[in-house]
A and B are shown apart, each in its own frame.
Chain A
Amino acid sequence: MNIYLENVIKEYEGKRIVHIDELHIKNGALYGFVGPNGAGKSTLIKMIAGLEPLNSGNIYYGHKPKSNPPFEIMTLVFQKPYLLRTTVEKNILYPLRLRGWTEKAMEERVTELLKDMGLSEFRNQKSWKLSGGETQKVALARAMSFRPKLLLLDEPTANIDPSTIAIIEKMLRKANQEEKTTVIIITHNLQQAKRLCSDLVFMHRGNAVEHGDVEKVLNHPTHSLTQRFIEGELIVD
Chain B
Amino acid sequence: MGEIILGIEEAFLLLISFNKEIYGIILLSLYVSLASTFFSTIIAVPIGTALGMRNFKGKGILIRLIYTFMSLPPVIAGLFVFLVIMRKGPLGHLRLSFTPTAMILAQICIVVPIIVGLTYNGVKEKGNTIRDLGKTLGANNRQTLFLLIYEMRIIILAAVIAGFGRAVSEVGAVMIVGGNIKGHTRVMTTYIAMLQNMGDYSKAIAVGIVLLALSFLINGILFNLQQR
* Residues of chain A having any CB pair with chain B under 8 Å: 49-51, 71-72, 75-78, 82, 84-85, 94-95, 98-99, 142-143, 146
Contact digits for B106-119, partner A, Cβ 8 Å, 1 yes 0 no: 00000000000000
A49–B137 Cα distance when bound, in Å, is: 11
Q: Is the CB of A99 within 8 A of B138?
A: yes
Chain B minimum-CB-distance residue to A70: B138
Supposing A85-B151, A85-B154, A98-B143 touch, asked if A51 and B130 sit within 8 A by C-beta, the answer is no
Can you spell out 21 A-B residue pairs with CB atoms less than 8 angstroms apart? A49-B136, A50-B135, A51-B132, A51-B136, A71-B135, A71-B136, A72-B138, A75-B137, A78-B132, A82-B129, A82-B133, A84-B147, A84-B151, A85-B151, A94-B137, A95-B137, A98-B139, A99-B138, A142-B137, A143-B136, A143-B137
Q: How many A-B residue pairs have CB under 8 A?
A: 37
A51–B132 Cα distance when bound, in Å, is: 6
List, in ascending order, chain A residues with CB within 8 A of B129's CB: 82
Least CB distance, B100 to chain A, in whole angstroms: 37
List, in ascending order, chain A residues with CB within 8 A of B137's CB: 75, 94-95, 98, 142-143
List, in ascending order, chain A residues with CB within 8 A of B143's CB: 98
- Top 8 nearest A-B pairs (CB, nearest first) are A95-B137, A76-B136, A72-B138, A75-B136, A82-B129, A71-B138, A51-B132, A82-B133
Least CB distance, A95 to chain B, in whole angstroms: 5
List, in ascending order, chain B residues with CB within 8 A of A71's CB: 135-136, 138
Q: Is the CB of A95 within 8 A of B135?
A: no
Q: Is the CB of B136 within 8 A of A98?
A: no
A98–B136 Cα distance when bound, in Å, is: 12
A143–B138 Cα distance when bound, in Å, is: 10
Least CB distance, B122 to chain A, in whole angstroms: 12
Least CB distance, B114 to chain A, in whole angstroms: 23
Least CB distance, B133 to chain A, in whole angstroms: 5
List, in ascending order, chain B residues with CB within 8 A of A98's CB: 137-139, 143
List, in ascending order, chain B residues with CB within 8 A of A85's CB: 151, 153-154
Least CB distance, A99 to chain B, in whole angstroms: 7
List, in ascending order, chain B residues with CB within 8 A of A84's CB: 147, 150-151
Least CB distance, A91 to chain B, in whole angstroms: 10
List, in ascending order, chain A residues with CB within 8 A of B138's CB: 71-72, 75, 95, 98-99, 146
- In addition to A72-B138, A143-B136, 16 A-B residue pairs with Cβ atoms within 8 Å of each other are A49-B135, A51-B136, A71-B135, A75-B137, A75-B138, A78-B132, A82-B133, A85-B153, A85-B154, A94-B137, A95-B137, A98-B137, A98-B139, A142-B137, A143-B137, A146-B138
List, in ascending order, chain B residues with CB within 8 A of A77's CB: 136
A142–B133 Cα distance when bound, in Å, is: 11
